[in-house]
Structure 1
């Protein structure tokens, strides 16, 4: 029997949408390098966004992953990357 997932945070649909937007904002798009981050504060904020969105990517369902063009394996690879890697 499949266990039901209990969400204690914000609405799941809302967090999934923010995860998708967060991928773009966290610099996970081709052509973005660390030198684009700028100041140490901007670098730190970039790393926080990456860590947060990678955690959120790990909880997306198959349907949401298909919506962004990822399969489960690609999502797992991205979610397991350290926050400092683009």
Structure 2
């Protein structure tokens, strides 16, 4: 009985240690620029530790901050060349 309780206690302790870090969405990073800056610094310092998922979300949030709504660039058509005066 004592062994069973010890095993259960150890299992629960290990399970508590392996809690996943809270995940942050792109939108939450957009809303909190200071946190975005921290996450980008973590990704730059140790990408493997921060993880691909978090670094990709930080990258997407940075892209959205820079590009805005993502409206495509539509340049005006080139102007027609001026015709030379006829003599």
TM-score computed with the length of structure 1 as normaliser: 0.28
Which has the larger helix fraction?
2
Q: Which fold has the larger relative contact order, with Cα–Cα distance below 8 Å and residues 6 or more apart in sequence?
A: 1
Q: Return the index of the structure with the highest Cα Rg.
A: 2
